Structure 1
Amino acid sequence: MKKLNIDNWFFRTMALIGDWVMLSVLWVIGCLPVVTAGAATLSVFAVAHKMAAGQDYAVCRDFCKAFRRDFRQATVLWLPMLALALLLVLDGWYGGRIPAPWGGLLRGAAVAATLVWVLSFSWGLALLARFTYRKSADALKNGLVLALRTPRAALLTLLLAVLPWAVLTGAPALFFYLLPFWLFVLPGASAWCIARAMRPAVTELEHKNNYYLDREENP
């Protein structure tokens, strides 16, 4: 009788999906207090970077290690960004109640600013998860610059961020039907996709050791 070969595309894909689910569950748990959402997101990216780079990793161990290590820096970034996000939501809501053309202009500005927010925050945390920064705000700035330098990867990031809200707006019943997917697959899958899209830029930064210090080499 032939031995079962587990080193094939099917089992590798199932293992990858399992890692996405585990990452997503950890992210959801980490986001429950809200104030810890920044640290939870950074920790997901810390694991996703290792996955994208083909490094050895253990999802739960590496997530918890990054969460403890970078909690302060991630929270310092997250709380002002959360306040800004709430302000953008308020601007969009208020713009919908102002007659045209000013209402449309305000809503358009809010949407454009939200897209910049998504790129800056997601890529900034992804960089902070991989590298040591003396100033946390530099990670946001560098994240936005890198995103704009790689438009395909930036577009992928925006699509992954907008997808749940687009489904919620266009087909609410489908959104709630897919709620387990949004919560327990998409966060981990999104971080993995973004980390893979960022990989060329991250590889370039990894060779600039005069400024960027790898987190694993300098815990």
Structure 2
Amino acid sequence: MSSSLFRQDNPFNVVMGRIGDLAMLSVAWFVCSIPIVTIGPATSAACEVAREIVEDTDEGVFRTFWRAIKRRFGVNMLFSLLFIVLFAIGAVDLWYISRQTGDSASVFYGVTLGALVIVAMMLSFVLPLSGRSKLSWWEQIRQSVRLSLMKPLLALGNVALIALPFVLMWFVPGAVVWVPILWCVLGAGVSMWAIMTWTCRAFQLKPRDTPADHDA
């Protein structure tokens, strides 16, 4: 009984090893996202590492992350700037509308928020599948839109996971203190792992497949 606890394939050791990998992935993503403008390459690399963890083909979290972040760095920086601009525009619009009064302001707020969610859904597969893609930046966006239309609930799930820490900090008292710490230590890695787990299953992606292999 005691000897089985030290076996590498022991379920407890497997689970703890996976948690450790996701914790390291969260730290790597957080450190590389500190400049803000590099959040695109960092997120793409984190999703690639998470996919390799799902496929059980990873060769070490930090080594794989560093290799992945250098791949398609320029394209992912372009995506990063695009997402930052879209987020800034959406945030300013919502802030401005929230300062207005009347029923029409509530309607405009809801419409604007809904439009932002739809845009986010259409772009939700860009960074997760960018790591192995050979498509241009525009083709990558078109692919994401197509996949989102194929699997709208999956796209909405991706958006919900990405938005979860912001929603918690906005609505839960005191969450602004512990949510960033939790996401830096473990939450980011778990989110990337969840996104890549159901993406690979939904589109039946096999190890070393590229998005173009299965239109995903």
Q: Same fold (TM over 0.5)?
A: yes
Q: Deviations over 1:59-80 (max 9, x none)?
A: 1111111111221010112112
Residue 96 (structure 2) pairs with residue 132 (structure 1): no
With 118-127 and 12-21 compared, the bigger mean Cα shift is at 118-127
Residue 89 (structure 2) pairs with residue 87 (structure 1): yes
Report the CA distance between 1:102 and its aligned residue: 2.9
Q: Deviations over 1:66-124 (max 9, x none)?
A: 11122101011211221111000011011112223332232223212332343344411
Task: Give the percent of matched residue pairs that are identical in Structure 1 and Structure 2.
Answer: 26
Residue 41 (structure 2) pairs with residue 42 (structure 1): no
Distance 1:105-1:88 versus aligned 2 partners, 3 A rule: same
Match of 2:165 in 1: 164
Instruction: Give the Cα–Cα distance (whole angstroms) in 2 for the partners of residues 208 and 166 of structure 1.
Output: 34
Instruction: Give the Cα–Cα distance (whole angstroms) in 2 for the partners of residues 149 and 205 of structure 1.
Output: 19
Distance 1:204-1:64 versus aligned 2 partners, 3 A rule: closer
Report the CA distance between 1:2 and its aligned residue: 5.2
**Paired amino acid for 1:63:** F
Distance 1:173-1:20 versus aligned 2 partners, 3 A rule: same
Structure 1 residue runs of 5 or longer lacking an equivalent are 215-219
Match of 2:155 in 1: 154
Report the CA distance between 1:205 and its aligned residue: 8.8
Match of 1:182 in 2: 183
**Paired amino acid for 2:70:** R
Instruction: Give the Cα–Cα distance (whole angstroms) in 2 for the partners of residues 2 and 171 of structure 1.
Output: 43
With 37-46 and 57-66 compared, the bigger mean Cα shift is at 57-66
Q: What is the number of residues matched between the two proteins?
A: 212
Note the 1:10-89 alignment, pairs <5 A.
Answer: 10-89=12-91
Structure 1 length as normaliser, TM-score? 0.85
Structure 2 residue runs of 5 or longer lacking an equivalent are none
**Paired amino acid for 1:212:** A
Match of 1:193 in 2: 194
**Paired amino acid for 1:6:** Q
- Aligned to 1:190, the other structure's residue is in SS state helix
Distance 1:161-1:69 versus aligned 2 partners, 3 A rule: closer
| 8 Å CA contact retained: 1:88, 1:113 | no
Residue 117 (structure 2) pairs with residue 115 (structure 1): yes
Distance 1:208-1:41 versus aligned 2 partners, 3 A rule: closer
